[in-house]
Chains A and B, each alone.
Chain A
C-alpha cells in the first residue's frame, strides 16, 4: 500500500537519526529536559514534517496548513529539532533550548515560536485543542487536517477522555490523533502506575477508528496516516508502539530516562551509537 520509494525511506531514516543526535546535544547543552520520549518520537516527527504534513516552513502562518498539535509538550526538543531541520529556523538556534531569552521554551509556547500551534506542557489538554481546531475547520469547510500527538501517560487524565468523547460525537474525520505507546512515565511503567489497557478498545468504544503500528517503521507510519485520510465519519487514533529512548541501547525501555540528566560518558556513548547507527533503526520492509 505504501507509496514510499526506497530512497525516500532512506532519507527519512537518516533525517530521523540526525534529529536524534540533535535532541541529545540540545538536552545536554540545556542541562535539563526530557530524552526518552523525544528519541522514541523522532521517526514520527520526521515522517510528519518530511512527508505527511501540508506545511510551509517559510510561511508558518499559512492559513491552509495542516495543524500539528503536540499535547505532551515536554518532548518538544524533538519537535524543535524536526522544525529546524525542516527549515523553520536555523539549526544553530537549537542550542538555545531552555535558556533565558530563547524562543525554544522548556515547554513549547505558541506565541514564542512561529510554527508551534499551541502552548502545551500540562498533560491532557492537547486533544481538546485539536478537537477545537477540527470543529472550527468543519464550521468553515476547510480542507486541512488536524494532527494531535499524545503520550500514553496522559491517557490517565480525565480531560483526554472528555475530548475523545466529543470527537466521537461530532465524527471529526479531519482529526488524526497518535499515542506514543512507549509504556513509560515518570514514576514507572504505565501498566504499574495506572493500567491503560485495553487502550484500543477504549477508543473504539468512544467511536474512534483505531490503527496500531510500529512507531519506528516509516512505511507503517505513513500508511497509517494515509489510511486515516480515507476514514470518514470517525476520528482516527494511531497507537504507535515505540521503544522509549530508541537508538541508544542503555536508554531503551528505561523509564528513569524519561527526564534523567546525562553523565559526560553517557553523552559520548549516546552520540557514538547514533552516529554509527548505520541503519540500525530500519523499517521492517527490509
Chain B
C-alpha cells in the first residue's frame, strides 16, 4: 500500500472500523494546555463556548490566564490584540462562524494590521457540524482569513495534527487562524508524523517512486491536495483509484498560508492534473489558493471538491458531506474527470 512511510501514518489507514475517532477540537484543547505549560504568557479567551471549543482544560488548569468574554466576539478579538501588545500570546476561541466570522474587521485592523500576536481558534468549521444547521456551519472562514496580510491559516486533518498546530503557533510571532471541527473523525496520523508550518507532506505516493523529488521514473496520474478531516476521504479515494489503475499522489495542505508552493508545483508537474478537497466553499478556500499558485507557475487541469456556492443544512455529518459532494465517491469521480482533461 503506497502510504508514504516518511509520513508515519497509522498502519490500518484504510480500515475505518479500526481507526480511533476523535474530533480535531480535542487536539486543540490538548495543544493549548501544552503551549500554556511551556510558556506562561500563553492566555486564552472564550466567548461562552469554553467546553464545546475544548478551551476548558486550559481554563481549569490556568484560571488566572483565562478570560471569559461572554457572547462578544468583536470585543474578544480586540481585547486579545491589546493583551498581546503587553506581551501575552492570547488564543481567542469560539465557533468559526462567529470568530473569525462575526469579528472580521476587528481581526483585520486590530489583530492583523496591528500585527498583534493573537491566535484565532475557529471551532465547528465545515458542514460536519451537522444538526445545528447552516447558521453554525462555517464554510467561508478560509476565504475571509487568507487574504489578510500578516495572517497564517491552518486546517488540521486529525486530532494529532490539531494538537501540533496549536502548539506550533505559540512559537511563531503573529496572527494565526486555525480551524477545527466538532465531529469525530478518523485519527490517522501519529505523534511521529512530521509537521512543519509552510510544508505540505506527501501522505500517499504513487507506486514506483521511492521519494518525492526522486528520479521521476513514475508519475502519478493525478495529485489530490486536501486539508482538514476530508484528507482521510482523499486517501480512501486514492486507494480506490489505484484499484482501478489510476495512480495518485495525496498531499496534506494543512498549511494553507503560508502554502508549500514548491511541493505543490512539483506535484502538478509530475501528475499534470490536480483535485483539491476541502470542507469549505470552493470559492476562496484552499483550492483557490492552490489554483493561484498553479495558474502562475504551472497551470494544469483542476477539479475542486467542496461546497458549491450553497449554504449548509441540518443533518448527520456524513450525510451532509455526501450531500454536498465531498464523499469518497465524489473525489474518485473528480479524479477520473480531471485525468481525461489532461
Contact = CB atoms under 8 A, between A and B. Distances in A.
Given A133-B86, A135-B83, A137-B86, A122 B105 contact: yes
A136 B114 contact: no
B297 interface: no
A128 interface: yes
B87 A118 contact: no
Contact of B75 (A110, A111, A162): A162
B72 A129 contact: no
B81 interface: yes
Given A122-B105, A131-B82, A136-B88, A165 B70 contact: yes
A159 interface: yes
B52 to A, nearest CB: 21
Nearest to A119: B114
Contacts of B110: 118-119, 125, 128-129
Contact of B81 (A132, A158, A166): A132
Interface string A102-132: 0000000111000001111110010011111
Interface of B is mostly: helix
Nearest to A128: B78
A129 B64 contact: no
A109 B113 CA distance: 8
A220 B171 CA distance: 47
| Contact count band on B | 20 to 34
Interface in B1-57: 43
Contacts of A140: 86-87
A51 to B, nearest CB: 24
B54 to A, nearest CB: 22
A45 B74 CA distance: 28
A1 interface: no
A131 B110 CA distance: 13
A135 B115 contact: no
With most chain A CB atoms within 10 A of its CB, the pick from B77, B80, B85 is: B85
B99 to A, nearest CB: 13
A230 interface: no
Nearest to B87: A136
Interface in B64-78: 64-65, 67, 69-70, 72, 74-75, 77-78
B113 A129 contact: no
B101 to A, nearest CB: 15
Nearest to A134: B82
A163 interface: yes
B112 to A, nearest CB: 9
Nearest to B43: A139
Contacts of A109: 113
A166 B69 contact: yes
B109 to A, nearest CB: 5
Contacts of B106: 125, 128, 159
A115 to B, nearest CB: 13
B79 interface: yes
A150 B135 CA distance: 34
A119 B116 CA distance: 10
A127 to B, nearest CB: 8
B134 to A, nearest CB: 24
A119 B82 contact: no
A120 B43 CA distance: 24
B114 A110 contact: yes
A108 B78 CA distance: 16
Contact of A129 (B65, B67, B81, B88): B81
Contact of A117 (B74, B84, B85): B85
Contacts of B109: 119-122, 125
14 contacts: A69-B82, A119-B113, A119-B114, A120-B109, A122-B109, A125-B109, A128-B74, A131-B75, A132-B78, A132-B79, A132-B86, A133-B85, A158-B74, A162-B70
Report, nearest first, the 3 A-B pairs whose CB atoms are least far apart: A132-B82, A128-B78, A162-B75
Interface of B: 43, 64-65, 67, 69-70, 72, 74-75, 77-88, 90, 105-106, 109-110, 113-115
Given A133-B83, A163-B79, A170-B67, 13 more contacts: A118-B114, A119-B110, A119-B114, A128-B78, A128-B79, A128-B82, A129-B81, A132-B81, A133-B82, A136-B83, A136-B88, A162-B72, A165-B72
